[in-house]
Structure 1
């Protein structure tokens, strides 16, 4: 079991290395940051104080809503910030990008497909996080059950992120190089 854990840990760490976020246009919801200069010791509050009230400890209520709604939650920043337009923001900039009716229709279709799949995966991720939370809440956590539940949640988060990233990749076939450049300028990346 320990060998399996050691072998799988490098796979699981990257999936959890990027904390879940709300929409990348909004401040992050639900996580309290550990500030500098806080007193340590008996009277000090832990940075997670209050989070024990959450229905799923690892997810804020806003994150649960965003996952279920198929929102981006900054999962596609690798694409967005490297010049790959996303369908939602392309639609928001349709006039400025001078989208043709065909481009707008295809972009709407890509967005709808991505959002539906992201919502489906987001719902499954919420369920997986709830199952992991339940293991500890009901004091049924074992090394095997925690590893299995953690890996399931990580796999779903990876699939969800890929869904968002792939929608950006697909947009490259919809837009002209000039529109891609204009998108990046309008978004403030160039």
Structure 2
């Protein structure tokens, strides 16, 4: 073989190895991104004070690269949830992602509050809060809707039947510590 042919052969082999390495790198990044979860990533703990929350008030909080919704439920919201429970897809939250201790009707460790990732379970679209008063005209009790396909959830993040979403909103692991909740411990 001539020296130029040998050099071309080496260049081709090097380019093919480089392309293979790039493909493997992209594949690894996609797989790790698919299986990563905010609670398994190393995130610093975050304490959220519950002081100053008015009944019916919702706040968005950033933690572990995700947005969380923190809602202080009002008695009207609790009554709306109870009145429409028979219309929920998974009212007992058997199929939900949530801490074991939060398997209760309010899906919470802090009574009167609801904490969840602020994304719908269908297409991970942002959520909007719909008050019971504005939802009454549409024939439901209010709660959350996602901005993409309009899936409806009650004030405990439980999805209604007949919605594009089939899973309740995901509740992160946290602990209630008096007048605050602590994420990431």
Q: Specify the TM-score bucket, using the shorter chain as the normaliser.
A: under 0.3
Report which of the two has the higher share of strand: 2
The structure whose residues are more often helix, as a share, is 1
- Larger RCO: 1 or 2 (CA < 8 Å, sep 6+): 1
Larger Rg: 2
- What is the TM-score of this pair, normalised by structure 2? 0.24
